[in-house]
């Protein structure tokens, strides 16, 4: 799959801009703040209908404008696909494929597979468990629409159960039968989600370890461990044993919406004991494993976006990363960097076909 061209209208700092891309490598170079990351984010928008960096739609519209439009022309399985994302202040965002608007954004997820590696990924290490669940769910959803649908239903059932718990507390009442309906739903949907996450991690973890060792030349032991209360007990039983707690808290305190992924280096949490370079290598290995997993599942080469990836990494690690990208037989690559020469030297090693976009 290739993104052939991109049009931006009032998207962040771009008033009106067109790009015709190379089918292999595109380098976006320029000083801090010229909009390199914004271009990557516009491409991300076309795949996911939202920004990777800023979830507030109105803040992605250029200051003093009322709307933005991002348009991409793709070539996918020998067909041309035109995708447009547009947003007006105060209105719902619209995603269109070949002129037809989607009813729900989730239908579009996975159609244009994409992996982004960015400094913002460090949230995966530093932030709470929700970020890591989103990562797992995002990877699985890009190649499994059914999973995404199950997840959305589960999330809705959790909200409804929480609303019911609040209602019970506010009205000093309790109705076991109504609660049981939600418990059953959560149990059924949660078991599917748990099984899929486990299945995913069984395939994903070895790929991740292999990528990490390739980047670091293998002196450090790292691990990914899926943590879920469903490991030992089914969700129906857990919901029953947590009933008093849930009633007191007025929300559902147990279920797959509380799962986590533990990251360790030499058996210690990487958040506390990993150096900046080790953390960065860990995150890049995660993302390259994501790339490989999606490619295996969807049989499509995802677009790969590298945002400021070379910063703070020594030359050997940069070389290893680029070699890995090359070995993975990547499809189309977008790289943002402040150093035009550094980028050009690196990309020349893996492809004769590339374009440099010098932004100012």
Ligand X SMILES: Nc1ncnc2c1ncn2[C@@H]1O[C@H](COP(=O)(O)OP(=O)(O)OP(=O)(O)O)[C@@H](O)[C@H]1O
The β-bridge relationship of strands 303-307 and 333-337 is parallel
Of the two residues 16 and 98, which places its CB atom closer to ligand X in the complex? 16
**Minimum CB separation from ligand X for residue 342, in Å?**
13
The answer to the question of whether 241 is labelled as a binding residue is no
Nearest partner of 122 among 279, 324, 354, judged by Cα: 279
Q: What letter would DSSP give residue 62?
A: P
Q: How far is CA 75 from the centre of its chain?
A: 22
The most distant pair of C-alpha atoms in the chain lies apart, rounded to whole Å, by 71
**Minimum CB separation from ligand X for residue 15, in Å?**
9
Q: For residues 61 and 68, is the Cβ–Cβ distance under 8 A?
A: yes
CA distances from 246 to 163, 165, 253 (A): 12, 7, 6
The answer to the question of whether 190 is labelled as a binding residue is no
Nearest partner of 3 among 96, 107, 81, judged by Cα: 81
**Minimum CB separation from ligand X for residue 49, in Å?**
18
Of the two residues 103 and 341, which places its CB atom closer to ligand X in the complex? 341
The answer to the question of whether 37 is labelled as a binding residue is yes
Of the two residues 72 and 110, which places its CB atom closer to ligand X in the complex? 72
Of the two residues 38 and 47, which places its CB atom closer to ligand X in the complex? 38
The answer to the question of whether 54 is labelled as a binding residue is no
Task: Give the span between the Cα atoms of 83 and 98, in whole angstroms.
Answer: 6
Instruction: Give the Cβ contact number of residue 240 at 10 Å.
Output: 13
Of the two residues 14 and 204, which places its CB atom closer to ligand X in the complex? 14
Q: For residues 28 and 41, is the Cβ–Cβ distance under 8 A?
A: no
Of the two residues 13 and 264, which places its CB atom closer to ligand X in the complex? 13
Q: Which residues of this chain interact with ligand X, rule CB under 6 A? A: 12-13, 30, 32-38, 59-63, 308, 336, 338
Of the two residues 12 and 187, which places its CB atom closer to ligand X in the complex? 12
The answer to the question of whether 32 is labelled as a binding residue is yes
∠ CA 27-31-34, rounded to 5°: 80
**Minimum CB separation from ligand X for residue 328, in Å?**
25
The answer to the question of whether 72 is labelled as a binding residue is no
Two tokens at 322? Answer: 């680029």
The answer to the question of whether 31 is labelled as a binding residue is yes
**Minimum CB separation from ligand X for residue 242, in Å?**
43
Task: Give the span between the Cα atoms of 7 and 23, in whole angstroms.
Answer: 16
Instruction: Give the Cβ contact number of residue 352 at 10 Å.
Output: 8
**Minimum CB separation from ligand X for residue 119, in Å?**
8
Task: Give the span between the Cα atoms of 195 and 259, in whole angstroms.
Answer: 12
**Minimum CB separation from ligand X for residue 111, in Å?**
25
The answer to the question of whether 146 is labelled as a binding residue is no
∠ CA 203-1-111, rounded to 5°: 65
Task: Give the span between the Cα atoms of 325 and 87, in whole angstroms.
Answer: 34
As annotated, the binding site includes 30-37
As annotated, the binding site for ATP includes 30-37
């Amino acid at each position: 799959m290739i993104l052939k061209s991109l049009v931006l209208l009032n998207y962040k700092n771009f008033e009106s801009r067109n790009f015709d891309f190379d089918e292999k490598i595109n380098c976006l170079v320029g000083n801090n703040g010229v909009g390199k990351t914004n271009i990557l984010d516009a491409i991300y928008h076309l795949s996911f209908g939202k920004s990777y960096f800023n979830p507030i739609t109105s803040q992605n519209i250029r200051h003093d404008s009322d709307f933005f439009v991002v348009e991409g022309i793709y070539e996918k399985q020998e067909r041309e696909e035109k995708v447009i994302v547009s947003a007006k202040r105060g209105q719902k965002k619209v995603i269109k494929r070949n002129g037809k608007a989607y009813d729900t954004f989730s239908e579009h997820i996975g159609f244009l597979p994409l992996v982004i590696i960015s400094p913002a990924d460090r949230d995966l290490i530093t932030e709470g468990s929700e970020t890591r669940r989103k990562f797992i769910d995002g990877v699985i959803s890009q190649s499994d629409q059914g999973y995404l649908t199950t997840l959305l239903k589960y999330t809705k059932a959790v909200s409804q159960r929480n609303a019911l718990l609040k209602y019970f507390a506010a009205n000093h009442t309790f109705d076991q039968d109504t609660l049981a309906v939600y418990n059953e739903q959560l149990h059924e949907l949660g078991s599917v989600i748990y099984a899929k996450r486990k299945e995913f991690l069984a395939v994903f973890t070895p790929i991740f370890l292999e990528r990490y060792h390739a980047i670091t030349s293998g002196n450090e032991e790292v691990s990914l461990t899926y943590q879920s209360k469903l490991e030992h007990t089914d969700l129906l039983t857990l919901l029953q044993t947590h009933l008093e707690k849930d009633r007191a808290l007025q929300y559902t305190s147990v279920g797959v919406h509380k799962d986590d992924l533990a990251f360790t280096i030499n058996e210690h949490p990487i958040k506390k004991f990993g150096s900046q370079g080790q953390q960065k290598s860990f995150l890049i290995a995660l993302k390259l494993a994501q790339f490989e997993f999606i490619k295996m599942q969807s049989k499509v080469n995802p677009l790969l976006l590298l945002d400021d990836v070379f910063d703070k990494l020594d030359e050997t690690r940069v070389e290893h990363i680029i070699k890995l990208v090359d070995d993975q037989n990547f499809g189309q690559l977008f790289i943002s960097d402040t150093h035009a020469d550094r980028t050009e030297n690196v990309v020349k090693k893996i492809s004769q076909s590339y374009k440099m976009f010098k932004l100012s």
